[in-house]
Amino acid sequence: MLFPSVNRQKSWLFFLLVILISLNLYFHFTFSGSLEERSRFLDGIFARALYPLQKLFDFTETSVHSGATSFSRMLEAESENKKMRVQIEEQELRLYELEKLRADNARLKGLVDFKQAQPLNFITARVIGRDASIFFKTIEIDRGFEDGIDNAMPVVSPAGVVGRVLRVGPKASNILLVTDINSKMDAVVQRSRTRVIVGGSVEGALTLRFLPRRFDLRQGDELVTSGLGNFFPPGFKIGVVLGLAQDPNLVLQQAELEAAVDFDSLEEVFVVKQK
């Protein structure tokens, strides 16, 4: 026995083990509860305690990576370059937002109850960590509630939708990527303006499931967020239809999407502060 001084209380230790495991299984094994509820248990303590170390590791990794790839460059120029890149991405995002608003404006001009979309506010954040499991898709950013981040805030990049805020700490937050199996969102096919539900998968691909057989969807169709549910802002790119899986024996069909965002090389993201 590992705990020699408590040999007499072996049964109590075993009882404690059973209680801990039961609680652990109760709170976390089921997928029926909301993700937010599941992520607020004891394990949040570990996430907060490990944040300074993670920040340190991220800093070390970034420094080594930067040194290896741009050995000949001056460090000051590199730093300036990074700042400019972030600024350009911010500008690109704002430009994209303006173009989207203009397109929406033209399309909806004739509608009576048209409500013009207000410009969005963004919080720029750096990706400092990724999910250690291959079955779940999350990232960690270096902004927390001290920076104004709140649960369920949408996260985007100039390329398209990234995900939503899942767990918020004081200085860091976890983002549930749209490619995660727990993720689902309302989308619109740009060509036909029909609505679909886009979900993630274990392998990290975006999928469209439960489509009727006669659903008007073609390879190359672009999907954007619909804005329904007041969750993701409308008009942000999600991905492009790669192909349809049509089985003549099935009533429904499914399709696979190529995500607009390259999640492997994601470095900076923008958290959307709603209006």
Partner 1 sequence: MSLEPLPQERQREVLKTTFIVIGLWTLWLLFISTLSYSHRLSMSAVAVVLLFGSFWWTLTEGAFFILLMSWIFHAFSLTPPGFYWISIFCVFAILKIASYRFSVRSPQELGIAVLIAALLCDFSQLIFLKQIAPIYVFSFSTLGFIILSAFLQAGLALLLMRPLLSLFSTK
CA nearest to 123, candidates 254, 268, 256: 268
Site size toward partner 1, by CB under 8 A? 60
**Which is nearer to partner 1, 101 or 205 (by Cβ)?**
205
Figure out which of the listed residues 158, 160, 163, 199 binds partner 1, where binding follows CB under 8 A: 199
CA dihedral 21, 26, 31, 37 (to 10 degrees): -110
Identity of the residue, 190 or 201, whose beta carbon is nearer to partner 1 in the bound complex:
201
Q: How far is the CB of 244 from partner 1 (least distance, A)?
A: 15
Using the rule CB under 8 A, give the single segment among 102-110, 180-188, 213-221, 228-236 that binds partner 1: 180-188
Q: Please tell me whether residue 138 binds partner 1 under the rule CB under 8 A.
A: yes
Instruction: Name the segment binding partner 1 (CB under 8 A); options: 85-93, 95-103, 179-187, 226-234.
Output: 179-187
| The amino acid at 95 | L
What is the x/- site pattern for partner 1, positions 48-67, by CB under 8 A? -xx--xx--xx-xx---x--
Q: Which is nearer to partner 1, 53 or 111 (CB)?
A: 53
Among 166, 185, 206, 208, binds partner 1 (CB under 8 A): 166
Q: At closest approach, how far in Å is the CB of 63 from partner 1? A: 11
Encoded tokens for 175 = 């983002």
Q: Which stretch binds partner 1 (CB under 8 A): 97-105, 132-140, 156-164, 211-219?
A: 132-140
Q: Token pair of 71, please? A: 């050995």
Burial of 162 from C-beta contacts in 10 A (0-12 / 13-18 / 19+)? buried
Among positions 6, 12, 14, 118, the unique one binding partner 1 when judged by CB under 8 A: 14
List the one residue out of 114, 105, 143 whose CA is nearest residue 272.
143
Exposure string of 131-155, with b = 16+ CB inside 10 Å and e = fewer, is beeeebbbbbbbbbeebebeeebbb
- Tell me the C-alpha distance between 96 and 100, whole Å: 6
Contacts of residue 130, defined as CB under 8 A and 6 or more positions apart, other chains included, come to 138, 139, 140
In angstroms, the Cα distances linking 163 to 20, 151, 186, 201 are 32, 12, 13, 14
Q: Which stretch binds partner 1 (CB under 8 A): 33-41, 100-108, 141-149, 217-225?
A: 33-41
Binding interface with partner 1 (CB under 8 A) = 1-4, 13-14, 17, 20-21, 24-31, 35, 38-39, 41-43, 46-47, 49-50, 53-54, 57-58, 60-61, 65, 128-138, 140, 166, 174, 176, 180-182, 199, 201-204, 209, 264-265
